[in-house]
Amino acid sequence: MESKEFIKKQIKSYGTSPNADEYLALAEYEYSLIILDVPIKDYTLSEIARLVEDNNARIMRVEVLPLKDGMSLLVSLKMDITDISALLRSFERYSYDVIYYFMKEGELNERYEDRLDELMHYLDM
């Protein structure tokens, strides 16, 4: 995507709120999505970014939505890695509430299927 197209897309998306399909659509460089429920008093984007970067990932998009109760935020993180299991463990270790996560299927599922096949072969011996 050229820079002009990117700028136009960002301006257009800034002026209008995305519908559900647009929000969930992952770009070619966004492989995973994590949505956190964070109390407002504990929200620090720099700490969240540090946890992500410590797990060799980069945040490609961040969106924050304050909840109606006024006490917490939904923080949506789109990242450039396919396997976010280590990142999920890091969020759990630092007491972040992960309410949703999504990983693009592909390499991860194939690797687990291969491991399961090897285990089944071993058990048949």
Largest CA distance in the chain: 62
Region of poorest pLDDT, from 3-12, 34-43, 59-68, 77-86:
3-12
17-56: pLDDT as tens digits: 555 555 555 455 567 888 898 999 999 999 999 999 999 9
Q: Within 13 Å of residue 15, how many CA atoms lie on the same side as its CB?
A: 5
Residue 7 has pLDDT above 60, yes or no: no
Select the more confidently predicted residue: 103 or 74: 74
pLDDT of 78 above 90:
no
Using the predicted structure, report yes or no on whether residue 70 has a pLDDT greater than 60: yes
Residue 21 confidence (pLDDT) = 59
Q: What's the confidence (pLDDT) of residue 64?
A: 85
pLDDT at 91: 95
105 vs 64, residue with greater confidence? 64
pTM summary value: 0.64
Judged by DSSP in three states, 36 sits in strand
110 burial level (CB within 10 Å; 0-12, 13-18, 19+) = exposed
Reported as a single tens digit per residue, the pLDDT across 81-124 is: 888 888 999 999 999 999 888 876 544 556 667 777 787 777 77
